[in-house]
Structure 1
Amino acid sequence: MAIAHANRQNLVRAVAEIALAGTDQFIDVGSGLPTADNVHQVALRHATDARVVYIDSDPIVLAHGRALLEENARIRVIQADVRDPRSIREHAETTGLIDFERPVAVIHSAVLHHVNDDEDPGAIVRYWREQVCSGSYFFISHFRSGDNPETREAEALLPSTFGRGRWRTDEEIRALFDGLELLEPGIVPCPLWRPETGADSGEFGAARRELTVWERLIAGGLARKP
């Protein structure tokens, strides 16, 4: 629960930063089931014309996502696999909503750690980097490998629970941003990513308390395409 909460709050802050910077198009790859503070809800607080395409491979997510279509005509939900970015890029719902001549925010929130090394998660990000124009944003959050008994125990849960993927070091997560301008504060545990700009700053302010082991197990970063 601590990991999921830290990741969600980081995503909320990142989407707000992106929208405030003037980007109003979002592609949320591996969005998961709708919850509080979905990308479109956060974006619409700061950009009234925000457009969002949600992508997930789970048909249950697609079914729940149809309710979003009733909420706003600028929302699309696609069933597709994160490992096949071309099918997402060329999908009629994507091309019908997203203008790739303008900046786009591509979001991989807590999804690339489910992609094995031989499936090349870096190539997935590179594909999107090549598809979007200068000024586009990339947000990535990822399970963060540690070096202590607690984190090693937690890391063992990923393959045993999901049967695939792995935790990666800060350096490996940073490599996913190759060719992009990584913005401050870089790759950090999610609660430490610009906490002063979010509603949860009182809870997660770095100067207020030490993070728990679990809160350090998910890292996030935001980058811009030059």
Structure 2
Amino acid sequence: MSLDFESEWAPAGVDVTAPSVARVHDALLGGTGNFAVDRSVARRLKEAVPEVVDLVWCNRAFIGRVVDFFVREAGIRQIVDLGAGLPTVENSHEVAQFADPSVRVVYVDLDPMVEPQARAILGGNPNAVAITEDARDVDAVLDNLELTRLIDLRRPVALMAIGLLHLLPDSDDPHGLVRSYMDALPPGSYLAASNMLVSVNPKAQALEAMLQATMGASHFRSREAIARYFDGLVMVEPGLVHFPEWRPDDRLPGPLATWEELLLGGVARKP
């Protein structure tokens, strides 16, 4: 596909010559909302760490189980998905609304590709919308008219920051960002958060190095640093664990694979 052709169909504001985290993720999942530059990065990632595709699908499965918990067990009917990326299979709104069609979901992403693609997939769904905002700007996100149209911030909200925080350097203060969001939400709200886990494993280090080289965004953190996202909140069992260990649909078949040990996350409630 030529660069000229890609430029013609790309939404306004999209630079088809620079890779995007959301579009690379889409390419790894086999989606179509990506460009040659994104597919090139995806190929390089797969060559360096072939398990990266399994990793992104593991992330998707974790999101599905978390959303199902929010709706079926926690009684949450409002979800804000930060850094949601491009819509793929088993989107948050699909999982949530399968359990209860009245659940309202707002996707938030900085990539200008996300909103138009989500609009096409949502197909006029009255209880789900995507907005183009920088998740680091808490006021801009929570004051967005499309968000406030669907989300009543006086009532409990489930905030999802899965696959986002490891993209933020310490200079962006991701812990302070999470606190700002949770401070703005009422008691009874939930946080689902994750971060890539720092490791001495050579494959983990190869993935981190490749992400830094290709995307300039990969900040693996210690277990202690990841746990700090949940300060002041009440952890939901089983606590802060590797993704496959969080309420698995089936019993774990055995020891975790190396790449599964890179994903650490959890869910907590604001008392």
Q: Confirm or deny a common fold (TM above 0.5).
A: yes
Does the CA-based 8 Å contact 2:195-2:263 persist in structure 1?
A: yes
Residue 209 (structure 2) aligns with: 156
Amino acid of the structure 2 residue aligned with 1:15: V
2:109 paired with 1:52 = no
Does the CA-based 8 Å contact 1:25-1:105 persist in structure 2?
A: yes
Deviation of residue 69 (structure 1)?
4.2
Would you say how many aligned residue pairs link Structure 1 and Structure 2? 218
Residue 7 (structure 1) aligns with: 59
Deviation of residue 48 (structure 1)?
2.2
Residue 67 (structure 1) aligns with: 120
Residue 77 (structure 2) aligns with: 24
Does the CA-based 8 Å contact 1:83-1:115 persist in structure 2?
A: no
Question: Which ranges of structure 1 fall in alignment gaps of 5 or more residues?
Answer: none
Q: Aligned equivalents of 2:67 and 2:201: distance in 1?
A: 32
Q: Deviations over 1:33-76 (max 9, x none)?
A: 11111010010122221001101111111120112442411111
2:211 paired with 1:166 = no
Structure ID, larger Rg: 2
Does the CA-based 8 Å contact 2:109-2:132 persist in structure 1?
A: yes
Residue 217 (structure 1) aligns with: 262
Amino acid of the structure 2 residue aligned with 1:216: E
Deviation of residue 188 (structure 1)?
1.1
For 1:180, which of 233, 239, 258 is the aligned residue? Answer: 233
Amino acid of the structure 2 residue aligned with 1:141: S
Question: Which ranges of structure 2 fall in alignment gaps of 5 or more residues?
Answer: 1-52
Q: Aligned equivalents of 1:68 and 1:135: distance in 2?
A: 30
Amino acid of the structure 2 residue aligned with 1:214: W
Q: Aligned equivalents of 1:145 and 1:5: distance in 2?
A: 20
Structure 1 segment 73-84 matched on structure 2, within 5 A:
73-84=126-137
Q: Aligned equivalents of 1:184 and 1:144: distance in 2?
A: 19
Deviation of residue 176 (structure 1)?
1.0
Does the CA-based 8 Å contact 1:56-1:82 persist in structure 2?
A: yes
What is the percentage of aligned positions where both structures have the same residue? Answer: 39
2:172 paired with 1:135 = no
Amino acid of the structure 2 residue aligned with 1:10: F
Instruction: After superposing the two structures, state which structure 1 stretch, 62-71 or 84-93, moved more.
Output: 62-71
Does the CA-based 8 Å contact 2:208-2:218 persist in structure 1?
A: no
Q: Deviations over 1:57-112 (max 9, x none)?
A: 11111120112442411111100112112100011011111011111000011011
Q: Aligned equivalents of 1:69 and 1:211: distance in 2?
A: 35
Q: Aligned equivalents of 2:76 and 2:206: distance in 1?
A: 40
Local SS of the residue matching 1:37: coil
Q: Aligned equivalents of 1:106 and 1:126: distance in 2?
A: 11
Residue 6 (structure 2) aligns with: none
Q: TM-score, normalised by structure 1?
A: 0.92
Does the CA-based 8 Å contact 1:10-1:220 persist in structure 2?
A: no
Local SS of the residue matching 1:176: helix
Task: Give the number of the structure with larger relative contact order, counting CA–CA contacts within 8 Å between residues 6 or more apart.
Answer: 1
Local SS of the residue matching 1:55: strand
2:140 paired with 1:87 = yes
2:102 paired with 1:102 = no
Local SS of the residue matching 1:135: coil
Does the CA-based 8 Å contact 1:53-1:94 persist in structure 2?
A: yes
Q: Aligned equivalents of 1:158 and 1:178: distance in 2?
A: 28
